[in-house]
Structure 1
Amino acid sequence: MGNRIFRLDRRELMAGMGATALAPALPGIAAAEGHRSLRLTAEAGLMALRPGQPDTPIWTLRGSGADRFRRGEEIELELENNLPVPMVLNWVGLDGVPAAEPLAARPPLAPGARESLVIPLRHAGTLLCDGRLLGDGQARPAGVLALISGESAPVVVDRDEVILIEDWRLRADGSAIAPGIDPKDTSPVYTVNGRSKLDITARAHERLRLRFINGCQRHVIAVKLEGYEVRVMALDGQPSEPFPARNGALVLAPGSRADAFIDAGLPGSVSSILLHDGNEARPIGRLVVANQPPFRDAALPAAPALPSNGLPDRLDLRNALRFEIALGAAQAGWAKPPDFAVSASPAFRARLGHTVVLALVNRNDRPMMFHLHGHHFRLLDRLDDGWKPFWLDTLAIDAGQTQRIAFAAASAGHFLIEAVATDWAAPRLVRWYVVE
């Protein structure tokens, strides 16, 4: 039934990347000053991945303390590694904090060790804490953790919900394999907020902010809320010009995030949340509108854009520094994360305050995912004469294609770039760049 409702193949999934690519719950306040603590522990855990069967051993990143913060706050982070292997924390969506950069500034944390760091939240948005940068080929796969940095100005929504989608590959005996390993004789399993399915209950005319996160290891996915207009408000944690999702579907590369507003429909209605991975559509949850009086008499008017995080309105493309990066090319200096060395030559050097244009070239026979640390970028139009009306930090580039991106080099430091093919067995690769 899902495929009749939601038809999509891999080519359409990749094409969608270019197109989309509450007051009580989150009251708007001025940017806060001060510190709030967050303790993260990397440890062995279990997850229910087979209904009615024993739980599957995995590695997990567990948080204690707050998971919602405010733009302008500082997080006093304490990270403890209780795994039998080294790990490093990879922040997704965190701009301008070179001291937090994995490998470039933070060496892997040894088993049994702990470290502390103060993280300033310069922007509001949806963030990921990811301990999987060194995870290829390890004994168990690991999950990710979502964190929220709230806006410093009011946002008129009634509820704020995180929808974190992760993928797993299970053997017949129920054990799970890490990425970087041939997935033969395994079956894919998807979870939503750590469960097999997610039900969200609302009342008619209630406005929901849904923070969709692709926490998958390698898969580009599309997510559709049946029967609803899904209004995109932010991508990869940065506000965009509001627009309806193309064909009602959000297309997300691994690590990508999309914040969308929806207004709950008629009392008693039930709508499926469908996930498509390029092979098939499957239900992963439902939006259930309670058979109760409406939340308010009528739906709210269309929401204005989210408050700006202060990224520039214009980029100086004419005087930009321009570089070409061949994604995953062996001769181009890419390394597997455990082999990364700060002595390696950077992919490029940029001058602080200048615009940088990168031509991302995929000469491989599979789509490649690209992730830029430290800065968000604009996806340029084909003629380099403009850009899409949103910011990104992650992009999918189809086989044989070139995409151009531009960003303002606003923070000095050493930052990573990542690339990986859309193949479970493909290695994650890293390089770095310098802003000085």
Structure 2
Amino acid sequence: MAANLTRRGFCTAMAGASAALALPVSASTPMPLTARMAKAQIAPPQYAMTDVWSYDGKIPGSTLRIPQGGRLKRRLVNDLPVPTSIHWHGIRIDNAMDGVAGLTQDAVPPGEIFDYDFTTPDAGTYWYHAHTNSMEQVARGLAGPLIVEEQEPPDVDRDEVILFDDWLLNPDTAQFSEPFNHPMMLSHAGRIGNLLGANGTYDPVLPAKRHERLRLRLINAANARILDLRLHGLKGWTIALDGMPLEKPEPVDGAITLAPAQRVDLIVDVIADTGEEAGLLHLANDDSWQVLVRMPVTGKAATHTRDAPLALPPNPRMDVPGLDTAQQLEMTMEGGAMRGLSSANYQGRDMGFRELMQKGQFWALAGQVGMTETPFAQLNMGETVRLKLMNDTVFAHAMHLHGMHFRQVRANGSLGPMRDTILSLPNQPLEIAFVAHNPGKWLFHCHMLAHAASGMNTWIEVA
């Protein structure tokens, strides 16, 4: 395993942060989005450039922006030496466009193309990433932001996307530490990097002005790292989670937890004085709060702060009715180091934990390791489902449902905000509810991508 890299050891920013790119609403030929090998100066200049896999040579991929209700057309061109595909994370789109190799499409072979073409019903902050051997391909750089803009955007001075990531690099070579499927990563918390940053830079800087109002779109694209963030020199409100607007902006008070694949939209006012530094802090391994995104304050945008922001307009189909008559399902998460499995079904046969380990499989959902020919649940179009999740492991899991959003059912029966990814903690049962309104085959998996690669994958079908 590689040694830790410190901020002192890696103190310079990586070049090549992605720029926003407006998408055409209609075009006869889809714009290409090329998955290819590239080099990025992730480490400081005295280190070698890192060999990465990228979209169009950028780490992260370009920010794709499209209006709500618009049509996204992109041609995946695979210039990698391996098959790949693209998942449009959080967008409630047609099943054939979901990008899950082996379930909704075949992986795109090297040298081949695949056209993605879908409308975007929901405004909000989303992202796109590889969904073939995701554990390795996302870690190597195949991810980028996808922003669907509201017809009536909020009153802010700037709209900024911050895509967090971490990289596990060999300090001697500045190359990715291998193998990606190391048993320790598969069976423990996942592949956690030793170099943390945002927008492709280790030391991201976002200049600001006093009393400036910003919309910050935060995306956790890390393979396994759970981020705990705190505002510094900023006053903020949460306005959306996983792309879905909150009914009322919630003042940020304390830490913001962002599990892998989750997003949060904030509106923040810069309250630090000119000459000071605002920014985002993160909770480090030594339990200290350290600067992650620096925001040096120069000049003033206004003479005073504004009133609290208004709520964003709701997206369609955000209600979850029919809880009392909903179909009820249960799913237990088992496996991993320090607890393991007594046995589970893998490839049609019951196996003990030792045999599963030998096959590189460590986790089970509802007694099943990995994908099966039949779905975990067969659902009728339009029915409401309640799914109880029980985490009998010693690790956290970021559970992601494709194709639909859900709400957590709290202990008192009330519903939480809409999400597409929820953090399940050990020995803390939780329940989610959703309406099966999108037909097709939809993946449900842990977004600690090493966990998904070693067993935590299943699927449901909406008839």
Amino acid in structure 2 at the alignment position of 1:112: G
Which of the residues 431, 437, 440 maps onto 1:410?
437
**1:304 positional shift:** 1.0
Which of the residues 372, 395, 420 maps onto 1:366?
395
Count of residues in correspondence between the two structures:
397
Match of 1:202 in 2: 208
- Offset from partner CA, 1:345-376 (integer Å, 9 cap, x none): 10112221221111112111211221000011
Amino acid in structure 1 at the alignment position of 2:175: S
Matched, 1:295 2:322: no
For 1:277 and 1:328, the matched residues in 2 are separated by 28
For 2:165 and 2:368, the matched residues in 1 are separated by 26
For 1:76 and 1:420, the matched residues in 2 are separated by 26
Contact in 1 for aligned 2:230/2:256 (Cα 8 Å) = yes
**1:277 positional shift:** 5.4
- Offset from partner CA, 1:35-66 (integer Å, 9 cap, x none): 59543211112222321311111212237887
Contact in 2 for aligned 1:33/1:72 (Cα 8 Å) = no
Amino acid in structure 1 at the alignment position of 2:406: F
Matched residue of 2:96: which SS?
A: helix
* TM-score scaled by length of structure 2: 0.78
Moved more, 211-220 or 346-355: 346-355
Change (3 A) 1:58 1:183: farther
Which of the residues 248, 261, 266 maps onto 1:260?
266
Amino acid in structure 2 at the alignment position of 1:274: L
Matched, 1:271 2:278: yes
Contact in 1 for aligned 2:164/2:220 (Cα 8 Å) = yes
**1:187 positional shift:** 6.3
Change (3 A) 1:381 1:277: farther
* Aligned residues with identical type, % of pairs: 28
* Structure 1 residues 16-31: aligned runs within 5 Å: none
- Offset from partner CA, 1:322-355 (integer Å, 9 cap, x none): 111223564347555xxx46xx110112221221
For 1:307 and 1:140, the matched residues in 2 are separated by 34
Match of 2:40 in 1: 47
Matched, 1:108 2:107: yes
Match of 1:20 in 2: none
Contact in 1 for aligned 2:168/2:192 (Cα 8 Å) = yes
For 1:264 and 1:235, the matched residues in 2 are separated by 21
Amino acid in structure 2 at the alignment position of 1:176: F
Contact in 2 for aligned 1:209/1:260 (Cα 8 Å) = yes
* Structure 1 residues 202-351: aligned runs within 5 Å: 202-240=208-246, 241-247=248-254, 249-265=255-271, 266-276=273-283, 280=287, 281-290=289-298, 292=299, 294-327=300-333, 330-331=344-345, 332=366, 334=368, 336=370, 340=371, 344-351=373-380
Change (3 A) 1:420 1:129: closer
Contact in 2 for aligned 1:135/1:141 (Cα 8 Å) = no
Change (3 A) 1:278 1:371: farther
Amino acid in structure 1 at the alignment position of 2:294: R
For 1:367 and 1:347, the matched residues in 2 are separated by 21
Contact in 1 for aligned 2:38/2:54 (Cα 8 Å) = yes
Match of 1:148 in 2: 147
**1:77 positional shift:** 1.3
Q: CA RMSD in A?
A: 2.9
**1:72 positional shift:** 0.6
**1:230 positional shift:** 2.4
Amino acid in structure 2 at the alignment position of 1:90: H
Matched residue of 1:99: which SS?
A: helix
Matched, 1:387 2:449: no
For 1:317 and 1:253, the matched residues in 2 are separated by 27
Match of 1:61 in 2: 55
**1:406 positional shift:** 0.7
Match of 1:124 in 2: 123
Contact in 2 for aligned 1:373/1:393 (Cα 8 Å) = yes
Change (3 A) 1:150 1:334: farther
**1:273 positional shift:** 2.1
Structure 2 unaligned blocks of 5 or more: 1-19, 186-190, 336-343, 346-365
Match of 2:81 in 1: 84
Change (3 A) 1:88 1:80: same
Matched, 1:400 2:427: yes
Structure 1 unaligned blocks of 5 or more: 1-24, 26-31
Change (3 A) 1:431 1:314: closer
Which of the residues 186, 190, 193 maps onto 2:196?
190
